[in-house]
Amino acid sequence: GPGPTGMVAAKYDVLDLKYGDGSPAVLRHVDGSGFAYYQSGRKAICISAHGTNATGKVRRYGAIVHSDSARSPIIGCFDEWGRGYADGQLGPGDLQAPKVVVGEANVTVVDGTGRSTDVPLGVHGNRRVGAE
């Protein structure tokens, strides 16, 4: 936890990856939070980190996924339990953008025609990880 100065003790090495032109690609902070960037320079993913396990490593992460377009709209969001959604890109002939939604009990996939398919969690070995 925080030391006497209020600073969080470093649990991870800082990771600072860059594209060939020197622009940022991935930045991870000492607490495990960080950002990934598209080659365009726009943010791609923001990871928040909180809670620690017995060894002091962060054990819960949330993610916000942004589109590589003007104003970087949010196209996905996942909470610390892995629940959330991600929007896909429109393909030729699609009536709507495909989407994946991960809920507490199932995963729902909506294709470009709007057809929805649900798969209960726990089927085919896709059990929840870290749901302790």
27 within 8 A of 16, measured Cβ to Cβ: yes
- What six digits make up the tokens of 27? 């930045």
Is residue 100 within 8 Å of residue 94, measured between CB atoms?
A: no
Mean per-residue pLDDT, 3-29: 79
pLDDT of residue 122: 76
* Model pLDDT, residue 12: 75
pTM over 0.85, yes/no: no
Instruction: Specify the amino acid at residue 127.
Output: R
pLDDT over threshold 90, residue 127: no
Average pLDDT score, the chain: 85
CB 79 within 8 A of CB 65: no
In angstroms, what is the C-alpha Rg of the chain? 18
Query: How far does CA 70 lie from the centroid of its chain?
Result: 20
Q: How far apart are the first and last CA of the chain?
A: 21
pLDDT at 53: 74
Position 123 scores a pLDDT of 57
* 80-123 pLDDT per residue, tens: 888 999 999 999 999 999 999 999 999 999 999 999 999 998 75
pLDDT at 110 (0 to 100): 96
According to the model, what pLDDT value does residue 52 have? Answer: 75
Report DSSP state, residue 82: S
Residue in 50, 53, 9 with CA at minimum distance from that of residue 30 = 9
